[in-house]
Structure formats: C-alpha cells, structure tokens
C-alpha cells in the first residue's frame, strides 16, 4: 500500500509531510539515527556526516539531516556500509585532537604517554573534562571505535581561558559547527563563525580572531550547552563536577519575567551548573548570562542565616521565637493604637505566587489594611 507520501526505513513503511527530511521522519518514529552537528531549530548543515544512511539506488551514502524524504524511497539506517562510514568518521574525529578518554587508541603498549601529555596540557590530573558527558565518546562506544594513533594531528591553536565563564579548548573541537549555529541562528548574537578554512579551520569571533571577551559575545553560554564534545566547557565546572555526581532539579529562572526553564545541577547541596531545559517553552534550552552564570548568590557566605534584632543601633542574632514575638507585638501595637492603615507592606516580585498570596492575605485579613504593594513600578 505504498501511498503518495510514504517511504520505507529499515523495512517499515512510514508517512512523511512534504519538506521533512529522512532524519525528521526517523526521529518522529523513534528510529535512532546518530547525529553530531545537527541542531534542532536550526537549518541542517550536513557537516559531520554522522547521520549518513543508505538509500536504494543512490550512488553514495546520504546525510539524512539534509535529504528530503521522497515517495518510494527505501532507506537503511544501520547497514554495514553505513556503520563502516560512521566508524571512519568517528576514528578521524578521535584522532584529530586531545580526546584523551579511554576510547582513544594507542601505539603499541604505550597507552599512557598520550594521556599524560594531554593531562599536562590541560593542567589536570584527570581525563577529559567532559568524560561521561560527550557525544563523540558515546558514539565511539556505540560503534566500538578507537582511534589510529598514526593519524594523530597536531593541536593547532592554544586554549583560551581569559574570560570568567567559558574555556575554549580548540584541541578538542571537531568543527561540527553547532556553536556557530547556536550563536547565529538561535540566540542571534552573531559573535562566532568559521574562520581560516581548510586545514587551518577554527571557530573565530570575526576576522580579527579576538578572545570572546573582546568580541560581540554576551556569554549566554548557548554554545557550551550545544557543544557535543569538550571544546567549550564552563570554566567553573571544569574538573569540579562530573555529570554522575550531580542531581538535576528543574525550576524557573529567578531573574527577568521571561521565566526560562532551567536545570540546576546540584552536588553536595551546591549548585554547580545551570543549563536550559531544551524540551520546554518558553526558552527551549536558551538562557542568558545571568540565568546561566548568576547563581553564586544562592550559596554565598553573606546569606542571612538567623533572625536579627537591632539594639542600640547594632544587630544581634535572635531566635525565631524572640524575633517573631517582637514583630507580632510591635505590629499589634501600631494596629491597636493607630489602626491597620498605619502599617504598610511591600510584598515582592521576587517571591512565589504562594508567598505573595499569603502576604496579601496577611495585610488585608491580619493587619486590616490595603496598604500592600510591590516593586512593579520600579
């Protein structure tokens, strides 16, 4: 029953909408085609060719992210030709830089000399900072690839660490271009692009190739979030927290009114990292510099930890009992002597709906005044 808008993937006949790519249809039907450079919400570039598939009648393998589904097409996503091609791509990528995870191959019996050399370059006593959180590593395991040391290429550009937020490690960059798309097509900050080209290709901030902090970069960190390898890493998280050590809690950002959905990555009661929730409105994974990097206040040593009562012009710590008794007594006195309208309450655009509701009830039902407002005007 081959319909007008159907084609076959791995023996299953599937419907497609005009304009859909092979990858789109496969994803919609839970058929797993691995990708590296593909970035949802941006135009496919077909750079990495990880998503190649075999199409009957085609003279070569086709990138499924950039090939429109067509009626009658017959596609294989894991044929031996496809698997061989993917293995080759992974092998080349692994050989292209400091991919010092355990999947990295070695010459003869000397597995460690490469690892040690890279650890020295990293100034670290651990393997790659994104070990366990790396798309390339996952694919190397999936296809059982280790690199060929004789293909080893020199590291062309030094690591950039001069800004407070993002480490750019060109030795681990596979030039997939996801960061370039995140910057230009998603956040539209237009700070980075491909530069130099051919063997010297590098992601640059413009013709002058300046560091991020002297460029148009606004440190939204979208590039770090989409980087599938360890080329873009958060400076403060590098070697501090591995993904299996942290617990992720979803919440809503506390800064502006956009209400971005975010994951707080917590280790030992500390927020180590913040990432955007990709599958949810309103932000679909995007955050800004405040949302992504402005969370240190939570664990700051100057947080208030106990009630304070002022005596003789200075504060002393008090128990909750004591402080609450005093507040209730003083407010009660003013209410009795001068009426509730002698008290003013400022609730807050920073606290939850539940708390604002209770504040509104407290002012009106307990203090007996409508003198309640907040900073909407400020």
Partner 1 sequence: MTNTIADIGDAEVILVTGSNTTENHPVLSSFVKRAVKFKGAKLIVVDPRRIKMTEFANLWIRPRLGTDVAWINGLMNVILHENLHDEDFIEKRTEEFGTLRKVVEKYTPEHVEEITGIPAESLKEAARTFAAAKKGSILYCMGITQHTTGTDNVKSLANLSMLCGFLGMEGGGVNPLRGQNNVQGACDMGGLPNVFPAYLPVIDKAVSARFVEAWGVTSLSTKPGLTVTKMFPAAHDGTLKAMYIIGENPMVSDADLNHVEECLKHLDFLVVQDIFLTETAQMADVVLPSRCFAEKEGTFTNSERRVQRVRKAVEPPGQAHYDWEILCDVANRMGYPMSYADSEAVFEEIRKVTPSYAGITYERIEGEGIHWPCPNEEHPGTPILHREMFTRGKGLFHAIEYVAPAEQVDEDYPLYLTTGRVLYHYHTGTMTMKSEGLNEIAPEGFVEIADEDAQRLGIADGDTVSVASRRGKVTARAQISEKAVSGTVFMPFHYAQAAANKLTNAALDPVCGIPEFKVCAVKLEKRAA
Which 8-state DSSP code applies to residue 5? Answer: T
**Is there binding between residue 162 and partner 1 (CB under 8 A)?**
no
Determine the Cα angle at 88 with ends 82 and 91, to 5°.
140
Residue 254, Cβ density class (10 Å: 0-12 exposed, 13-18 middle, ≥19 buried): middle
Nearer to partner 1, 11 or 257 (CB): 257
Nearer to partner 1, 10 or 236 (CB): 236
Distances (CA, A) of 284 to 14, 152, 189, 270, 353: 28, 38, 17, 25, 23
Nearer to partner 1, 228 or 291 (CB): 291
Which position among 255, 273, 275, 312 is part of the footprint of partner 1 (CB under 8 A)? 255
Interface region with partner 1, contact rule CB under 8 A, candidates 50-58, 99-107, 172-180, 363-371: 363-371
Residues in the chain: 378
* E strand or H helix that includes residue 24: helix 22-28
Distance (Å, rounded) from C-alpha 262 to C-alpha 279?
Answer: 11
**Is there binding between residue 214 and partner 1 (CB under 8 A)?**
no
Distance (Å, rounded) from C-alpha 192 to C-alpha 209?
Answer: 9
Distance (Å, rounded) from C-alpha 112 to C-alpha 149?
Answer: 12
Restricted to residues 320-339, the positions that interact with partner 1 (CB under 8 A) are 320, 323-332, 334-335, 338
Which position among 53, 128, 186, 229 is part of the footprint of partner 1 (CB under 8 A)? 186
Restricted to residues 165-184, the positions that interact with partner 1 (CB under 8 A) are 165
CB of 239 to partner 1, least distance (A): 17
> Rounded to the nearest 5°, which phi and psi values hold at 338?
-125, -5
Nearer to partner 1, 1 or 376 (CB): 376
**Is there binding between residue 256 and partner 1 (CB under 8 A)?**
yes
CB of 205 to partner 1, least distance (A): 16
Q: How many residues bind partner 1 (CB under 8 A)?
A: 113
Nearer to partner 1, 22 or 260 (CB): 260
**Is there binding between residue 211 and partner 1 (CB under 8 A)?**
no
């Amino acid at each position: 029953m081959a319909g007008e808008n159907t084609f076959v993937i791995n023996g299953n006949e599937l419907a497609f909408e005009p304009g859909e790519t092979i990858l789109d249809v496969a994803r919609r039907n839970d058929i797993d085609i691995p990708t590296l450079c593909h970035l949802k919400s941006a135009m496919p570039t077909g750079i990495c060719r990880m998503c190649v598939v075999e199409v009957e009648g085609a003279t070569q393998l086709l990138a499924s992210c950039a090939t429109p589904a067509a009626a009658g097409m017959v596609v294989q996503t894991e044929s031996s030709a496809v698997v061989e091609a993917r293995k080759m791509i992974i092998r080349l990528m692994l050989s292209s830089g400091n991919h010092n995870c355990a999947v990295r191959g070695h010459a003869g019996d000397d597995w460690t000399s490469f690892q040690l050399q890279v650890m020295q370059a990293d100034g670290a006593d651990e393997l790659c900072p994104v070990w366990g959180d790396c798309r390339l590593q996952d694919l190397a395991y999936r296809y059982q690839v280790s690199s060929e040391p004789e293909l080893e290429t020199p590291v062309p550009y030094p690591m950039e660490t001069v800004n407070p937020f993002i480490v750019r490690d060109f030795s681990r960059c596979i030039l997939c271009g996801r960061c370039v798309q995140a910057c230009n097509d998603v956040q539209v900050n237009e700070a980075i692009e491909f530069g130099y080209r051919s063997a010297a290709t590098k992601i640059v901030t413009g013709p002058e190739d300046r560091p991020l902090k002297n460029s148009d970069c606004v440190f939204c960190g979208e590039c770090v979030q989409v980087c599938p390898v360890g080329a873009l890493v958060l400076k403060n998280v590098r070697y501090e927290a591995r993904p299996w050590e942290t617990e992720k809690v979803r919440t809503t950002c506390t800064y502006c009114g956009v209400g971005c959905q975010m994951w707080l990555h917590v280790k030992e009661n500390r927020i180590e990292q913040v990432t955007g929730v990709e599958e949810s409105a309103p932000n679909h994974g995007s955050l800004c510099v405040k949302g992504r990097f402005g969370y240190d206040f939570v664990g700051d040593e100057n947080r208030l930890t106990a009630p304070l009562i002022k005596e003789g012009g200075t504060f002393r710590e008090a128990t909750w009992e004591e402080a609450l008794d005093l507040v209730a007594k003083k407010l009660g006195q003013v209410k009795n002597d001068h009426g509730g309208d002698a008290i003013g309450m400022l609730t807050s655009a920073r606290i939850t709906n539940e708390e604002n509701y209770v504040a509104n009830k407290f002012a009106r039902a307990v203090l007996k005044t409508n003198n309640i407002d907040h900073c909407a005007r400020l």
